[in-house]
Structure 1
Amino acid sequence: MSRELLRRPRFAPFFWTQALGAFNDNLFKNALLLLMTFVVIEQRGWDTGIVNNLAAGLFILPFLLFSAWGGLLADRLDKQRLIVNLKWLELATMSVAAGALIFEAWELLLALLFMMGTQSALFGPVKYAILPQHLKADELVSGNAWVELGTFLAILVGTLAAAALMALGGDLARWALSASLVTLSLLGVFVARRIPPAPSLSPGPVPWRPLSGSIAVMREGLGNRRLKWALLGISAFWFLGASYLTQLPAYARDIVHGAEGATSALLAAFAIGIGMGSLACERVSRGRLETGLVPFGALIIFVGGLDLALRPMLGSAEQATPLLELLQVSGFWRMCLDLGVIGFGGGLYIVPLYTLLQVRSPEDHRARVIAANNVLNALLMVLSAGFGILMLSTLGRSLSDFLLVLAVISALIAVVCMLRDPRPFLRLNIFILIHLMYRLHLKGRWRIPAEGAALVVCNHVSFMDALILGGASPRPLRFLMDAEIYHSPWLKWFFRIAGAIPVDSSRKDPAGVRRSLEEVGKALRAGEVVMIFPEGQLTRDGEVGRFRRGLELILARNPAPVIPMALGGLWGSWFSHGGGPAFAKWPRRIRGRVELCAGRTFEAEGVKAAELESAVRDLHRKATRLSKGR
C-alpha cells in the first residue's frame, strides 16, 4: 500500500480524523458496555439482556433516521466544514459523557449512545464522499484501503484500551476514561481543521426529512442498476461482519473456554486480517478498480469461516483458561488464523465495492448514495442480530452451526458475484495464473483508459498472448480468435465467458468475417476494450509481421483510441513456434521473464495500419531487450 498518501495534506488529515473518531467511538462504547455489565447492572438490578439490547438499539437507530439527512448535508455543504462541525458535536457529546461518568449518571450515558450514533450516522456519508474530491482516480483504491485499515485498527485499539482503562477500577478508571474521551475529541477537532476545503457541487437548502429522506435515498440507490449490486454487496459484508463480531465473546466463552483476554485476541486477529486484506487489495489493484476481488474475497471468507465452524472445543467449561495459557495451545492459534483469514477476505471484498460506489455515483449527490448504503448497512446489521436470535435461541442451534451457516452464506455471495459478472473474476484468476507461469513485467498498462472504448493492437508470438494481455489489462478485454479454436468442445464455455470473438482466419467464410467485425463494432460502441492481433497469425520467425487491412476497417466503422502493445520474451517458449512447432517440443524454461510494453495512444482519426505496425515493432524491440535483462 502506498504510504505516500499519508504524507499528503489532501489525505493525511482526513485519515487521522477518521481514525481518531473510530477510536474514540469504540473506546466509549466498549467501556460503557463493560461498566454496565460488571458495575451498573449489579448496582441497579437491571436485566442484562434488556440493557445490552437497549444499548445496541440506541446506537443503531440514528443510522436509520439520520443517514439520509447526513448525505444531503454532505452534498449541499462544504464537506470539510461539515466534518469540523461534526467533530465539535463529538467533543460536546464526549464532554457531557465525561461529566456523566464522574457523577455516575448511568441513564444519561445510555442516552449519549444515541448522540454518538447520530454523530457517526452524519459522518458516514461525508467520510466516503470527500475522498473522490481530494484523490485522483488511480488513488481511490489506495485511499479506501487506508480508510478500512485505519478504521478496523482503531476499533481494535479502542476495544483494548477500554478493557485496559476499566481494569484500573473505581474512580481512577472513570477519571482516566473521561480524560481520554475529551482529549481524543480535541485532537479530532484540531486535525479536522487541516483537511482541505471540499466545496459542494450542488449547494442549496437542506430540508429536515429524516424518515422520508431515508426511504427516498434507499429508493434512489437501489433503483440505479449500476449502484444496486454495490450497495447490496457492501451490506452483505456488514451482515457477515456484524454476525461474526457479535458472537466473538460467546465463541471465546463457549468454544475456546477462555478468559476475557481470549475475546481481545480473536478480535485482534480479525482486525489485522482486515488490514492485511486491504493492503493486498491495493497491491493487486495497483491503482485500478478490481471488481474480480469481490468474489475472490467472499471465497476466502468461506474458507476461513468453514474451518472456524469445524474447530473442536478447547479446554474445559468448568474454568476459563487465561490468555497466556491459550497462546501455548495450537488449536487457539488455528482459531485466530481462521478469523484472520475471514478478515483478510473481508478486506479484499469491501475495498473494491466502496471504490465502485464512489466511482459510479453521480458527483452532485454522491453522499446521498453513500447515505443509502449506510441505511441499508444498518438494516442488515439489525437483521444479523435477528438472525442470530433465530438460530441460537428460537431454533436452539449451536454456535458452531450458526458459524457454518455464515460460511455457506459467504459462499453463496461468491457464487452470485461470479454468475452476475464472471469476466472480472476470470480476468483476475488469469492474472494470478500468468504470474505463476512467468515473471511478468508491465510497462504502461495504465494507458488503457479506466472507462470508455479502446482498441489494443499487439504482436502475436505464442498461444499464451491473449491470456497474458487479458490478465495484465486493468479492464476485461474482448479479443478476436480463430474460430476453430473457439469452437473447441472443451474450451468454448471458457472463451464465451472471457468475451472472445471468433473469426475465420482462413477467410473461407466472408459472411462470418463480417459478423466478427460487427461484433467488434458492437463491443466498441458499448465502451469495451477490444484486443486484436493485426498480423492474423503466430509469427514464424519471432519478428512482427505485416498488419492486415482489417484493422483499418474496424477503425473506419467504429473510431476508438488505439493502444499499441508488444510482448517480449515468449519467442522460443513451449507455446510459440520458436525452436520448433508450438506444443511439439520440450519446455525449456520455467517462469521465464516476459515483458509487456504499451506505447502512446493513437487517436482513431486518420491513423494508418502502417503507423501502428511501426509503433508495435519499436515496442517489440524494447520488450525483447528488457526480457533479456538489457
Structure 2
Amino acid sequence: MAHNQFELLRQRRFLPYFVTQSLGAFNDNVYRQAIIGLLFYLGIDLEQRSLYTNLAPALFILPYFLFSGLAGQIAEKLEKSKLVRITTVMEIGIMSIAGVGFVLESLPVLLVALFLTGLQSTLFGPVKYSILPSVLKPEELTGGNGLVEMGTAMSILLGMIFGGMIFVIAGEHGPEAAAFAIVALAITGNLVSRAIPRVEASAPDLKINWNPFPESLKALRLTRRTPAVRNAVLGVSWFWFVGTVLTAQLPTYAELHLGGGSTLYLFCFVLFSVGTGVGSLLCEKLSRRTVEIGLVPLGAFGMTAFCVDLYFARPGLAVESGMGVAAFVNAAGSWRIMADLTLIGLFAGLFIVPLFALVQSRTPKEELSRVISGLNIQNAFFIVTASILSIGLQMEQVDVLGLVIPLPGMGIPELFLALGIANALVAILIFSIVPEFFLRFIAWMYVTLFYRVRIAGVEDHVPDEGAALLVCNHVSYMDPVLISAAVPRPIRFVMYYKIFRVPGMNWVFRAYRAIPIAGAKEDPEVMEAAFEEIRAALDAGELVCIFPEGALTKDGEIAPFRGGVERILATHPVPVVPMALTGLWDSMWSKRDSRLGRLRVPRRLRAGVAVLATPAVPGETATAASLEAKVREMRGSHR
C-alpha cells in the first residue's frame, strides 16, 4: 500500500494506467491544436476559421450524448485492462485517419476523425475513473484522483503548447509533422497500456442493451440514486461549467483586458492549469488520506472569492496592447490577476478531487462505470450550456424571427463576477440539499485548527467494505468527529438520545445519520428502536460505531464496557474493530472541567491526539470484557 500519493507512481497497479490516460489527454489536445494550426497554415479566412473552431468542440462532445449509455455497459462487462487496450487501439486507427487528413490537408477528414476521437474518449471515460476503486484502497482514492486530475490538467496544457508549436517549428512540413506526432503518441499509449495489470469486470454477466438512448437515461437515473452521489455528480458537472466559462474567455480576456496576445493567453491558461494541479495534489495532505468531502465547500468558497476578485482586479480594458509575458508580469496590478487565476485553479482542484473520490467510494462497483457514463452525459450538457450562456450573456441583442430580444451585453470581467456569484449560489444549493458536505467542512476545519491527529492501524484494520462494528473508549463530545476524520468510510454513530434531541443540534445528528439510544430503564422503546436500526445498518453493509462505556468518562479512565455490544453480535456476528482515542481528556469537550470551565479553548492549540485501531475480532468470539481489555491495552496510560 502507498503511504503517500507519489508512491503510487512507482507501482504497476497505478503507473501504467496513469501514463496511458495522461498520454490520451495529451494527444487529444495536440490533435485539436494542430487542427487550429492547419487553419492558419492554409490561410483560411477569419469567418471560415471561426466556423471550424466552433464546430470542432461540438463534434468532439456529441458522442458523449449519443454513446455514453453504451460505454458504461461495456465498461461494466469487460475486463478493464482489456478495455483500455481496445480504446488505445481505436486511438491508433483514428489518429491514422487524422494523419491522412493532415497530409491531404483535408478539413472534412480531420473533423470526421475528431468526432471519432470523441467516441473513443466516450468509451474510455467510464473505465478511466471506475478502475481506480478496483486498484486502490479507500484511503488511497483521494491521492490517486489527485494525481489523475493533476496529470490531466498538465497533459491538456502541454498538449496545447506542443500542438500549437508543431506548425511553427516544422514550417512547410507542419502537416506531416502533425500526422507523425499524433500517430506516434497513440502507438506509445497502446504500448504503455499493455503493462496495466488485469482488473476483473465489475458485472461480467451484464446483458448489454445496444440501444444507447434508454441506457443513457438509465445511467442518469443511477447517478441520482443516493443524495450524496447525486450532488457529487452535480458538483463535478458544475466544475466543468465553471472551467468552460473561464477558459473560453481567456484568449479574448488576455487581448482586450490584459493587453497581450496568444502567448499571454497561454500564460494565463498555464496559471490556471498549474493551480488546478497543485490543488488536486494538496487534497491528500489536507484530507489525511480519507475521502474528505469537507474540502468541497472550501474549494467552492475559494473559487467564488477569486472569481469575484478577478473582476475587481481589472474591470476595464487594458491601457496597453501587444504585451508579452515578461511585460505583463512587470506591469502594475498583474500579480493580483496572476494570483487570482492560479488560486481559482487551486480551489477548483480542492473542489473536484473529493467529489470524484466520493462518487467512487459510495457507488457499488457493479454500477460505477454506468454512473460515470451518466456523469459524462451531464458534464457534456453543462459544457454546452456554459458555451451558449457565455456567448449569449456577452451579446447585446439577438434577432429571432424578426423579434429583437435584448441581452445583458456583459464584458468578460462582468462575466467572471457573475460566474463567482453563480458559483456561490450553486454551492449553497448543494450544501443545503445534502448538509453532510458543509458539516464535514466545519468538522474538518475544527480538527485541522485544534489538533494534530496521529492515525495508526485504521488503514490496515478497518475493512474497506462490508459490515463491521467499531468499539471505542469515550473521552469527549468530539470523539465521532475524530473517528470520522480517520476512517475513509461513512460511519453510523450510536449516541445518547437526549444529546441527539438537543434543540439546534438535532438536524446535525440526523444529517450524520446518528442512531439515538437510551437505557432500558429510561426509555425501552428508544432502546429497542436503536438496536433495530443498528441491525438494519449492519445488514446494509455499513460501519456502526458504539461507545460501550455508555457515557463520557468522568475521570479520564475507561469505564467497564456494557453488554449492548454482545446483544448486537448475538444476531449479527460481524467483525469488531477495537479502537482507542488518546489526548482528548485535556480538551474543552471532555468532562475534565465544570461546564463553565469547558467554555475555554483547548489548553494547547494543535494538541496531539491519536486514533488507534487493532485487528478485527470475529463477532462470534468477541465479548464486552475482551474488547474492553484490547482498548485498554491500546490506550495505555495516555488519556
TM-score between both structures, scaled by the size of structure 1: 0.86
**Which of the residues 604, 608, 611 maps onto 1:589?**
604
**Which of the residues 428, 436, 444 maps onto 1:415?**
428
Q: CA deviation at 1:113?
A: 2.0
Cα distance change on mapping 1:315 and 1:526 into 2, 3 Å: same
- Percent identity (aligned): 38
**Which of the residues 378, 381, 393 maps onto 2:380?**
378
1:448-497 deviations in Å (ceiling 9; x for gaps): 44455544333334454444334444345554556666665565555554
Number of the residue aligned with 2:326: 324
Number of the residue aligned with 1:267: 269
Q: CA deviation at 1:403?
A: 1.8
**Separation (CA, whole Å) in 1 of partners of 2:321 and 2:89:** 46
**Separation (CA, whole Å) in 1 of partners of 2:289 and 2:59:** 39
Contact 1:539 1:577 in 2 (8 A): yes
Contact 1:453 1:525 in 2 (8 A): no
Number of the residue aligned with 1:94: 95
**Separation (CA, whole Å) in 2 of partners of 1:487 and 1:362:** 33
| 363-372 or 431-440, which deviates more | 363-372
| 288-297 or 7-16, which deviates more | 288-297
**Which of the residues 549, 564, 578 maps onto 1:535?**
549
> Does residue 456 of structure 1 match 2:470?
yes
**Which residue type is aligned with residue 15 of structure 1?**
F
Secondary structure of 2:421's aligned partner: helix
**Separation (CA, whole Å) in 2 of partners of 1:301 and 1:309:** 13
RMSD: 3.4
Q: CA deviation at 1:296?
A: 3.5
Secondary structure of 2:455's aligned partner: strand
1:81-104 deviations in Å (ceiling 9; x for gaps): 333333233223333433433443
**Separation (CA, whole Å) in 1 of partners of 2:283 and 2:423:** 18
Q: CA deviation at 1:220?
A: 5.3
Cα distance change on mapping 1:609 and 1:263 into 2, 3 Å: same
> Does residue 25 of structure 1 match 2:28?
yes
**Which residue type is aligned with residue 337 of structure 1?**
A
1:498-539 deviations in Å (ceiling 9; x for gaps): 5556667xx7x9343641552354145234544444334444
Q: CA deviation at 1:156?
A: 0.6
Cα distance change on mapping 1:416 and 1:178 into 2, 3 Å: same
Contact 2:469 2:543 in 1 (8 A): yes
**Separation (CA, whole Å) in 1 of partners of 2:438 and 2:543:** 17
**Which residue type is aligned with residue 50 of structure 1?**
L
Cα distance change on mapping 1:381 and 1:199 into 2, 3 Å: same
Number of the residue aligned with 1:151: 152
Number of the residue aligned with 1:119: 120
Cα distance change on mapping 1:187 and 1:127 into 2, 3 Å: same
Number of the residue aligned with 1:627: none
Number of the residue aligned with 1:628: none
Contact 2:72 2:373 in 1 (8 A): yes
Cα distance change on mapping 1:516 and 1:203 into 2, 3 Å: closer
Number of the residue aligned with 1:468: 482
**Which residue type is aligned with residue 196 of structure 1?**
P
> Does residue 563 of structure 1 match 2:577?
yes
TM-score between both structures, scaled by the size of structure 2: 0.85
1:545-587 deviations in Å (ceiling 9; x for gaps): 2334455455557665433322223345555565x64653986
**Which residue type is aligned with residue 88 of structure 1?**
V
**Which residue type is aligned with residue 454 of structure 2?**
H
| 18-27 or 540-549, which deviates more | 540-549
**Separation (CA, whole Å) in 2 of partners of 1:308 and 1:126:** 37
Number of the residue aligned with 2:284: 282
Contact 1:424 1:475 in 2 (8 A): no
Secondary structure of 1:594's aligned partner: strand
Secondary structure of 2:611's aligned partner: strand
**Separation (CA, whole Å) in 1 of partners of 2:84 and 2:470:** 44
Q: What number of residue pairs does the alignment pair up?
A: 618
Number of the residue aligned with 2:163: 162
**Separation (CA, whole Å) in 2 of partners of 1:72 and 1:492:** 42
**Separation (CA, whole Å) in 2 of partners of 1:488 and 1:342:** 39
Number of the residue aligned with 1:244: 246
1:75-94 equivalences in 2 (<5 Å): 75-94=76-95
1:343-354 equivalences in 2 (<5 Å): 343-354=345-356
**Separation (CA, whole Å) in 2 of partners of 1:173 and 1:492:** 66
> Does residue 510 of structure 1 match 2:528?
no
Number of the residue aligned with 1:185: 186
Cα distance change on mapping 1:60 and 1:435 into 2, 3 Å: closer
Q: CA deviation at 1:26?
A: 0.3
**Separation (CA, whole Å) in 2 of partners of 1:435 and 1:204:** 44
1:343-398 deviations in Å (ceiling 9; x for gaps): 22332332333334444545455433322222222122111111112211242122
Q: CA deviation at 1:301?
A: 2.1
Cα distance change on mapping 1:203 and 1:561 into 2, 3 Å: closer
**Which of the residues 415, 418, 440 maps onto 2:453?**
440
Q: CA deviation at 1:171?
A: 0.8
Cα distance change on mapping 1:321 and 1:63 into 2, 3 Å: same
**Separation (CA, whole Å) in 2 of partners of 1:499 and 1:221:** 21
**Which residue type is aligned with residue 36 of structure 2?**
L
Contact 1:304 1:342 in 2 (8 A): yes
**Separation (CA, whole Å) in 2 of partners of 1:204 and 1:494:** 40
**Separation (CA, whole Å) in 2 of partners of 1:493 and 1:569:** 29
1:299-334 deviations in Å (ceiling 9; x for gaps): 332223222233224773552321111112363332
Number of the residue aligned with 2:339: 337
**Separation (CA, whole Å) in 1 of partners of 2:32 and 2:349:** 24
Contact 2:295 2:350 in 1 (8 A): yes
Number of the residue aligned with 2:54: 53
What 5-or-longer segments of structure 1 have no aligned partner?
A: 625-630
> Does residue 68 of structure 1 match 2:81?
no
**Separation (CA, whole Å) in 2 of partners of 1:363 and 1:285:** 23
Q: CA deviation at 1:19?
A: 0.9
**Which residue type is aligned with residue 325 of structure 1?**
A
Cα distance change on mapping 1:32 and 1:562 into 2, 3 Å: same
> Does residue 6 of structure 1 match 2:19?
no
**Separation (CA, whole Å) in 2 of partners of 1:212 and 1:481:** 44
> Does residue 431 of structure 1 match 2:440?
no
Contact 1:459 1:544 in 2 (8 A): yes
Number of the residue aligned with 2:625: 610
Number of the residue aligned with 2:257: 255
Q: CA deviation at 1:155?
A: 0.1
